[in-house]
Amino acid sequence: DAMVIQNPRYQVTQFGKPVTLSCSQTLNHNVMYWYQQKSSQAPKLLFHYYDKDFNNEADTPDNFQSRRPNTSFCFLDIRSPGLGDAAMYLCATSRDRTSGVFPTDTQYFGPGTRLTVL
């Protein structure tokens, strides 16, 4: 089945130790998103890619970086994790709004990576 995969599902890191979360998709969608979600809150968009075009949210800290080497893969790098970065990180994909299916197409989410910072 086509899907969005996130690895690892659980990640424990130490305060200040860089960490990378990965996301892959078999849907061939050209838009990929990274969200941060803290307990009982709405997902907060960090950034998204439209193909190779990177779109950063204005309030995303510089500590968060992303790479998209090809259509299938996208990475979230946290350069110096703080205790406040402990959260669930959700990756999602969609077709872009010019694909002819706008606005009907939903986002497809991965299972998430739960990050713990010690």
Partner 1 sequence: AQKITQTQPGMFVQEKEAVTLDCTYDTSDPSYGLFWYKQPSSGEMIFLIYQGSYDQQNATEGRYSLNFQKARKSANLVISASQLGDSAMYFCAMRDNNFNKFYFGSGTKLNVKP
Which residues contact partner 1 (rule: CB under 8 A)? Answer: 31, 33, 37, 40-43, 45, 48, 50, 55, 88, 90, 92, 94, 96-97, 102-112, 114
Task: Check: CB of residue 40 under 8 Å from CB of residue 32.
Answer: no
Nearest residue (CB) to partner 1, 79 versus 86: 86
Task: List Cβ<8 Å contacts ≥24 apart for 46-51.
Answer: 46/76, 49/74, 50/96
Task: Check: CB of residue 22 under 8 Å from CB of residue 73.
Answer: yes
Nearest residue (CB) to partner 1, 14 versus 99: 99
Nearest residue (CB) to partner 1, 17 versus 38: 38
Nearest distance, CB of residue 16 and partner 1, angstroms: 25
Nearest distance, CB of residue 110 and partner 1, angstroms: 8
Nearest residue (CB) to partner 1, 73 versus 105: 105
Nearest distance, CB of residue 21 and partner 1, angstroms: 14
44, 68, 78, 81, 82 from 64: Cα distances, Å: 13, 14, 5, 9, 11
